[in-house]
């Protein structure tokens, strides 16, 4: 996906508004939830309204491509979540706590 100057992709592949930590994914998500440009500006007060209008125009002109890229990003995040090792469950944490308490007593 070719990005305009008001969007930047970092080394991890995260696309955000240039000069901001707000992601394209965030703006698109809330826009698709029914937020207007003004509501988005209230949600992201550091982003000027004019920039939000640019982002929305870019999204609407490239909606299929942006949606596909965001879906691929979401699929990759889900893959990484599934591959991450699971931490101990509650029963294991209780067992460890009881062992520590018994050792300290």
Return the pLDDT at 105. 63
Return the pLDDT at 97. 95
- In tens, the pLDDT along 22-49 reads 999 999 999 999 999 999 999 999 999 9
Name the residue among 64, 65, 67 with its Cα closest to residue 27: 67
* CA dist., res. 54 & res. 22, Å (int): 14
Sorted by where each begins, the domain ranges of the chain are: 7-104
> Which spans in 1-105 are helix H?
24-32, 37-43, 49-61, 63-83, 90-104
**Residue segments in the chain with a per-residue pLDDT below the cut of 50:** none
Return the pLDDT at 73. 86
pTM: 0.74
Name the residue among 20, 27, 97 with its Cα closest to residue 60: 27
* CA dist., res. 25 & res. 44, Å (int): 13
């Amino acid at each position: 996906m070719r990005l305009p100057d008001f969007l930047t992709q970092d080394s991890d592949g995260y696309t955000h508004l240039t000069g901001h930590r707000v992601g394209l994914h965030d703006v698109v998500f809330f826009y698709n939830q029914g937020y207007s440009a003004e509501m988005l500006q209230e949600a992201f007060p550091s982003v000027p309204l004019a920039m939000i209008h640019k982002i929305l125009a870019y999204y609407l002109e490239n909606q299929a491509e942006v949606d596909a890229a965001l879906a691929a990003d979401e699929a990759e995040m889900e893959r990484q979540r599934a591959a991450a090792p699971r931490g101990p469950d509650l029963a294991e944490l209780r067992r460890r706590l009881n062992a520590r308490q018994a050792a300290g007593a």
